[in-house]
Structure 1
Amino acid sequence: MPSRAAPIKENPALACDAPEQYKGKPRSLTDRELEAVRNAPRAWQNRGKNVGAPRSEYVGDALDIMLGLGVHIGEALALRWEDIDLESALVHVRGTLVEQRAHRDENGAHVAGRFFRQDWRRSGRQAEDLVVQAPPFVMEVLRRRHRASPRLNLRELSS
């Protein structure tokens, strides 16, 4: 087991070269590149059908939503049905998921981390809602998910 007899006097990272900065201009994906990115999760899911744990179909759907709306993963996962107009294909991005990390309480007991929805986007409380006209492939995902989602009967829940 390694041990240290004395503290390090110099930062060893100073001897390392900094990684090269990307100097190219940002660019949009080509149609072919976009299709390859969109197909990758489905290919991954199909490769693992008979091996190991089942692979979730949600990965491809989440990626389609992120690509089509231009949002972060937390913003895609924080969407609610009330944020989506299935008729006009408008999506209002109003929040994001944030993580409360695992920690120990005042008695030293482990408290598991959790995710929760924050009612504002990553860009801050004062930021306007992002309203996006969703492309057809995103609307296809959202409509399919809407049809498959359970319908809550609020009267039954309140009694």
Structure 2
Amino acid sequence: MKGNITRRGNNSWRIKFDIEPNGQGRQTRYVTIRGTKKEAQVEAAKIIAAASKGDYVEGSKETVAQFVERWLRDWAKGNTSNKTYARYEELLRLHVVAHEGERRIQRLRATDLQALYAKLQRETGLAARTVLHVHRVVHRMLRHAAQWGVVHQNAATLVDAPSVPSTEIDILTPAQVQAVLQTLRASDSARRLYTVAAVALGTGMRRGELLALRWQDVDLDAAMVRVERSLEQTKAGLVFKAPKTRHGRRSITLPPSTVSELRTHWRASQERRLALGQGKAPEDALVFGEWDGSPRSPNALTKEWAAAMARAKITATLHSLRHTHASTLIASGLDVLTISRRLGHGSPAITLTVYGHLFKTDDRAAAIMEAAFAGAE
């Protein structure tokens, strides 16, 4: 496929080339390039090569801001949870549209993104982890832009992901676990947090999963709970949602002590309902709902937990109970696949990314190989 370059001004060049869109016959296209002749020749070579392979993207005046709104409406709204959508919307509008919104989406280059990430950290003081989240959502958005034929290439693939300093995860020692449980058990104001903590430690369930748990999901005779959904706090209110991955929907075996705590909690819940004239709880009643049976706010639970720990002068986040559960299983020598399934991770790779440093190196490898070589002889 051929094309030619014609000077239009001192630093302006017109590239003429042919395309065959969707088998509709050959059509002539013109693109104006600003810069030196050499730059125009390089751009012309790229355009002609793309056109010859059928990858040429027609010129568009759509801006980054306009595409962000289109992507949020046409893809993110129907393919992400309410919480994830709200986060994507916030990251894109506050940190991308605010700085690059007027630029045409087709003219967004890797250097522009690199400069944006540096600016977000240097001038706005945005945390490195937040900048990394910006990069990830931009990468996903531009991937769709390329798939939809809006841009020729996902510029984010040419940018190094912002580095984030590693942080230690919070894991409680056995003594700290006992201190937390004893504190919650002894305090009337924090007593309703006790069973939540006991189940979180015994199962490794996430906050939203605990708050979405129904009695119909609990089989105390079989010592098992079934995770079917999660409770999410959004701008529109509390929303029950399905797990993010197929492994998020799972069955978790219960330690005997956790079964005992849940039986006690069941009896107390029934007695309270009868005292309030509500009758026996239906099967779909929440295990950790409010007094009237309504869902308990995830954010309110976290604040309630933090206040209880502050009063007791104990450093322990609600999420540290999940980490403690995982670390205890790892220390026992349980295999990573089983741990991953129990935690509801999408794959063992995620488990290794979060907890890999806790797995002990197995020094038997050399001996195993030596035995194998000996047997081969």
Structure 1 length-normalised TM = 0.59
Q: Quick check: 2:184–2:190 contact (8 Å CA) kept in 1?
A: no
Residue aligning to 1:94: 228
Map of 1:117 onto structure 2: 240
Amino acid in the other structure paired with 1:116? V
* Cα distance between partner residues in 1 of 2:215 and 2:199: 14
Answer yes or no: is 1:21 the counterpart of 2:144. Answer: no
Residue 207 of structure 2, aligned match among 73, 91, 97: 73
- The amino acid of 2:265's aligned partner reads R
Q: Secondary structure at the match of 1:67?
A: helix
The 3 A distance-change label for structure 1 pair 56 and 117 is farther
* Rg larger for: 2
AA partner of residue 21 (structure 1): S
Q: Which residue of 1 aligns with 2:198?
A: 64
Per-residue deviation, 1:82 = 1.1
Task: Tell me how far apart the structure 1 counterparts of residues 234 and 192 of structure 2 sit (CA, whole Å).
Answer: 23
- The answer to whether the Cα contact below 8 Å between 1:62 and 1:73 also exists between their aligned partners in 2 is no
Structure 1 residue ranges without an equivalent (≥5): 1-9, 47-54, 102-112, 155-159
Question: Equivalences for 1:18-57 in 2 at 5 Å?
Answer: 21-22=166-167, 29-43=172-186, 45-46=187-188, 55-57=189-191
The residue type equivalent to 2:174 in the other structure is: D
RMSD (CA atoms): 3.4
Q: Take 2:174 and 2:123, find their aligned partners in 1: how far apart are those partners? A: 46
Mapped to 2, the partners of 1:126 and 1:30 lie a distance apart of 32
Q: Does 1 or 2 have the higher relative contact order (CA < 8 Å, sep 6+)?
A: 1
Gap change, CA 1:93 and 1:153, over 3 Å in 2: closer
Does structure 1 residue 82 correspond to structure 2 residue 224? no
1 CA distance for matches of 2:253 and 2:184? Answer: 24
- Label 1:97 to 1:128 Cα distance change in 2 as closer, same or farther (>3 A): closer
Deviation at 1:11, TM superposition (A): 0.4
5 Å-filtered alignment, 1:119-158, equals 120-121=242-243, 124-147=244-267, 148-149=269-270, 150=273, 151-152=280-281
Are 1:93 and 1:129, in contact at CA under 8 Å, matched by a contact in 2? yes
Distance in structure 1 (CA, Å) of the matches to 2:206 and 2:282: 31
CA deviation after TM superposition for structure 1 residue 56, in Å: 4.5
Return the offset for 1:77. Answer: 1.2
State whether residues 89 and 133 of structure 1, in contact with CA within 8 Å, keep that contact through their aligned partners in structure 2.
yes
Deviation of the 1:76 alpha carbon:
0.8
Q: TM-score, normalised by structure 2?
A: 0.27
Structure 1 residues 20 and 41: alpha-carbon distance in aligned structure 2, compared to 1, 3 A threshold: farther
The 1:152–1:34 alpha-carbon spacing in structure 2 relative to 1, beyond 3 Å, is closer
How many Å separate the matches in 1 of 2:281 and 2:257? Answer: 27
Give the helix-richer structure, 1 or 2: 2
Distance in 1 (alpha carbons) for counterparts of 2:165 and 2:234: 33
Offset at 1:28?
Answer: 6.2
For structure 2, the residue ranges without an aligned partner over 5 or more in a row are 1-121, 127-162, 274-279, 284-377
Partner Cα distance (1:42, 1:143) in 2: 16
Percent sequence identity over aligned pairs: 25
Q: Secondary structure at the match of 1:115?
A: strand
Equivalent position of 1:11 in the other structure: 123
Determine the structure 1 residue equivalent to 2:107.
none
Q: 1:4 maps to what in 2?
A: none
CA distance in 2 between partners of 1:137 and 1:29 (Å): 18
d(CA) in 2 for partners of 1:66 and 1:36?
Answer: 15
